[in-house]
Amino acid sequence: MFSILLISYLILIPKTLSIDLIEKDLNNSIEKLLLINDKLYLGTINTLHRLSSLTLNTTLSSLNLCYQCEQNYHWKILLSLPNENLLLCGTLYQGLCQIIDQDFNLIINSSLPIVANDPINSTIALIIPEKNLIYFGVTYTNEGTYRWQIPNIAGRSLNNSRFMKILSTNDDEELISRDDLSLRFMSRQQTTFIVQYIYSFYTKNYIYFLTNQPNDLEQNSFLTKIVRFCRDSSTSIIRTYTEIPLICLNSEWILKTADMIFDKNNQQILIGHFTRKDGTGGTNICSWNIQNDIDQAFEDNYRTCYSMGIGQRGLAFIKPNEPCRKDEVRKRREIILYFDIYFVQRVG
Q: Domain ranges in the chain?
A: 186-348
Q: Residue 326: what pLDDT?
A: 74
Q: Residue 170: what pLDDT?
A: 67
Q: Residue 243: what pLDDT?
A: 92
User: CA 109, CA 52: separation in Å to the nearest integer?
Assistant: 27
Q: Residue 179: what pLDDT?
A: 60
With a cut of 70, list the residues of the chain below it in pLDDT. 1-25, 57-59, 170-179, 327-348
Pick the CATH number of 186-348 from 2.60.40.1120, 3.40.250.10, 2.130.10.10, 3.30.2320.50: 2.130.10.10
Report the SS3 class of residue 213.
Answer: strand
Q: Residue 259: what pLDDT?
A: 97
User: CA 318, CA 335: separation in Å to the nearest integer?
Assistant: 14
Q: Residue 145: what pLDDT?
A: 80
Phi-psi label, residue 15: left if phi above 0, alpha if psi -120 to 50, beta otherwise? alpha
User: CA 32, CA 260: separation in Å to the nearest integer?
Assistant: 19
Q: Minimal CA–CA distance to 241: which of 310, 302, 172, 300?
A: 302
Taken as a whole, the chain contains a residue count of 348
Residue 111 CA: distances (Å) to CA of 156, 160, 164, 177? 13, 12, 8, 20
Look up residue 19 and give its amino acid.
Answer: I
Q: Could you tell me the sign of the dihedral formed by the alpha carbons of 244, 189, 272, 87, in that order?
A: positive
Report the SS3 class of residue 148.
Answer: helix
Q: Residue 18: what pLDDT?
A: 54
Q: Residue 23: what pLDDT?
A: 64
Q: Specify the pTM.
A: 0.85
